[in-house]
Structure 1
């Protein structure tokens, strides 16, 4: 388990500055009847059309009538006719910031296009709804933006729906500039994502995806993949993405990716991590064991960091945290103390992590202590965690398993 993603979600959620109590951030009942009627429209898309992108080994079909409008500079742009006034627009990128930052950028770009199309200036923009889901094994983010153009009697309103997902070597973003048709839009988006995933190999012995809720609102996800190499070492990839409403009009975005290698016994070999916040590289680090010491190099907020950890002993990897949890749940030992490195918490130090088995707790059977943070998790005997919960001050964070394949230990 990537314990650093817990730190990321809680620290980033400090941007949360207004009360949200549902996936929809704006109360639909506050709008006139015509608006509610338009939002209730939907359709079922049954026709399909082919798409082919050799760079991603994509040769499949998607719902609706897809037309390639542009393919240049590592970007493929399609319009997909689903029988509504506005088509669904879908992008595929081979270079990107991440599901959160890239989705927000495309939404902002699309709003500028709406201004040009209507020959009116954007006069209002509001976060209407956010959500997190999964397309089979691939997590996605959803952001719907309510906007107004013009002023006075010339004012018009609209809704821009957006979805994003990251597959193995590419990012998919779809938008739909029309009120209603939510189910149809999601169905088309899922078919677009599946066109990229159906031909992808699955070498992982374990992969999982968790929805992260903050104060009961889905605001992000964490995903992890574990692959065994020919020598028995374990390659680990963990990605997180968060979209946090700052107020009614602003969204804070964070995408992070961590790569690491673990020995079969669960000890860390090396690791690297980077994080992009609000379209800017926030941090980038790597750690290696050189000359009997852990050496950390990287950047934090654009400033170079190079340090030798005071901790000289072995470090527990993410894979190792699963091994230790399984051992505790299946033995007479009910706790263990270890040291881990996670740049999200503190790139300059090893952090003590205590894993304890719990009894008679409906929220979980494993407690994770990381300094001031304590998380309760529910795990089966094989180490698959179905949920986790942590509270700190006025913030509550829940992790809910959306999808998993395999077992986290070999």
Structure 2
């Protein structure tokens, strides 16, 4: 049996163009470009420009030309649509020098890869001074990542500063990328683009609600750098199908980010044993891991795929039962949280760490009622879990810094 495909390779490998992109040109899929226009007036007060914001504007109705979606957005006048290179482009006049431009895609987007390509394309024609994520949030039931790039560009009058603001909204039915290229208006852009995303209504039939949903925000030293979205659905025979979407945008320097997007689908049986897993990861928009695992019989599994450019295929026999995420949570609940044991060693399959064999995960109960430590190879972390044994908060040391993944939304029952 094959799991349904959850990763679209074309979106991860990308098709970003190196051609100059004007305001009316639609960028390649997954890589809409910031518009590096000069936004500084002669002798303008840069600080004053940087702090400009907009009062709330009147709501304007938006309807896709083909009727595929409707929405509403704050705007100074009626928004307009164009179709460029197969991408629907929405221009939203704000009463400022530049409009907010949004690109509506027909296929899913990966948040990290889209932001990375935006920054790469902006950097081709400008001198980026600072690139960073500014917020990660859940809008409806879909993640939104906000970022900005402060840059310098040459003009006939010398250097001019600009600020490209970006939002990637990974909605399953109406994926959206919005940009605004003008100094200031950072909070206004977040408000207006969030309002647009939250009002989207697709004409397509809405998928059945999952039995369980959770969303976590990843922060480094308190700064938002990514998210994890987990959805669990019923499978035949009392099993569970769990879909995981993770985007991580780590600041490599003040001007650059390293990004990773991961999508995985896991099937477990009614007892929580792992039956199959599809796992794919892209780093900086390039696919570097794509592995599939299937149970052959009992503890014997077959794996195949690509890992960092190498073709891999083979079988392994796990030294103990190989559990899925929900099975692991059940064991934590029944063994550690109940007080029956203070330490557990579970076998887990982590394709990024070990694509050809499971690795042991050591879990230890700490003094707190639901506090654990975990070790997977050299990686050590602390966990706070809920009553079901599922992680609410994970803290991972990163040298002198800490990365914290914390659940901010949850619904349903695993």
Q: Deviations over 1:166-189 (max 9, x none)?
A: 122453211111122222211222
Matched, 1:104 2:116: yes
Query: Normalized against structure 1, the TM-score is what?
Result: 0.80
Q: 1:127 aligns with which of 116, 126, 131?
A: 131
| Aligned equivalents of 1:43, 1:279: Cα separation in 2 | 34
Residue 353 of structure 2 corresponds to residue 382 of structure 1: no
Counterpart contact for 2:131–2:255, Cα < 8 Å: yes
- Corresponding residue to 1:166 among 170, 174, 177: 170
Once residues 56 and 305 of structure 1 are traced to their aligned partners in structure 2, the CA distance between those partners, rounded to angstroms, is 45
* Most deviating of 78-87 and 308-317: 308-317
* CA distance in 2 between partners of 1:243 and 1:296 (Å): 29
Tell me the CA shift for residue 54 of structure 1: 8.7
Partner SS state of residue 42, structure 1: coil
Aligned counterparts, 1:48-63, within 5 A: 48-53=59-64, 57-63=68-74
1:274 to 263, 277, 280: 280
Note if 1:93 corresponds to 2:105: yes
Asked if 1:300 corresponds to 2:311, the answer is no
Distance, in Å, in 1 between the alignment partners of 2:347 and 2:65 is 45
In structure 1, what is the Cα distance between the partners aligned to 2:189 and 2:110?
21
C-alpha deviation, 1:33, in angstroms: 8.7
Is this contact kept in 2: 1:38–1:179, CA < 8 A?
yes
Taking a change above 3 Å as real, the CA distance of residues 277 and 262 of structure 1, as seen in their structure-2 partners, is: same
Label 1:54 to 1:228 Cα distance change in 2 as closer, same or farther (>3 A).
Answer: farther
Which ranges in structure 1 are unaligned for 5 or more consecutive residues? 1-31, 113-120
CA distance in 1, matches of 2:183, 2:208: 37
CA distance in 1, matches of 2:172, 2:334: 32
Q: Quick one: which of 381, 384, 402 aligns to 1:396?
A: 402
Aligned match for 2:210, one of 204, 211, 232: 204
Equivalent residue, structure 2, for 1:249: 255
| Unaligned residue ranges in structure 2 (runs of 5+) | 1-42
User: What is the alpha-carbon root mean square deviation over aligned residues?
Assistant: 2.8
CA 1:44 to 1:360, structure 2 compared with 1: closer, same or farther past 3 Å?
A: same
1:210-225 equivalences in 2 (<5 Å): 210-225=216-231
The runs of at least 4 consecutive aligned structure 1 residues that moved more than 6 Å come to none
Q: TM-score, normalized by length of structure 2? A: 0.80
1:132-151: CA deviation from partner (whole Å, max 9, x where unpaired): 22224322222210111117
Evaluate the alpha carbon distance shift between residue 278 and residue 56 of structure 1 in structure 2; reply closer, same or farther with a 3 A threshold: farther
State how far apart, in whole Å, the 2-side matches of 1:196 and 1:145 are.
Answer: 26
Cα distance between partner residues in 2 of 1:383 and 1:167: 29
Q: Does 1:150 align with 2:154?
A: yes
Question: Quick check: 171-180 or 227-236, which moved more?
Answer: 227-236
Higher relative contact order (Cα pairs below 8 Å, separated by 6+ residues): 1
Q: Does 1:371 align with 2:377?
A: yes
Say if 1:290 and 1:55 are closer, same or farther in 2 by CA, change over 3 A: farther
| 1:346 paired residue among 328, 351, 354 | 354
The verdict on how the C-alpha distance between 1:129 and 1:367 changes in structure 2, with shifts beyond 3 A counting, is closer
Task: Say which of 77, 81, 102 aligns to 2:93.
Answer: 81
What's the secondary structure of 2:116's corresponding residue? Answer: helix
Relative distance call for 1:97 and 1:279 in structure 2 (3 A) is: farther
Cα 1:56–1:107 change in 2 (3 A) is farther
**Distance in 1 (alpha carbons) for counterparts of 2:278 and 2:133:** 34
Residue 155 of structure 1 and its aligned partner are, at CA, apart by: 1.4
C-alpha distance in 2, partners of 1:371/1:56? 52
Counterpart contact for 1:253–1:278, Cα < 8 Å: yes
The verdict on how the C-alpha distance between 1:236 and 1:149 changes in structure 2, with shifts beyond 3 A counting, is: same
Give the 3-state SS of the residue equivalent to 1:261 in structure 2: strand
Alignment of 1:327-342 (within 5 A): 327-328=334-335, 330-334=337-341, 335-342=343-350
Tell me the number of residue pairs that the alignment of Structure 1 and Structure 2 aligns. Answer: 366
Mapped partners of 1:194, 1:278: distance in 2: 28
| Aligned residues of 2:243 and 2:265 also touching (Cα < 8 A) | yes
Q: Which moved more, 1:264-273 or 1:171-180?
A: 171-180
**Structure with greater helix percent:** 1
Name the counterpart of 1:177.
181
Within 2, Cα distance between the matches of 1:401 and 1:298? 31
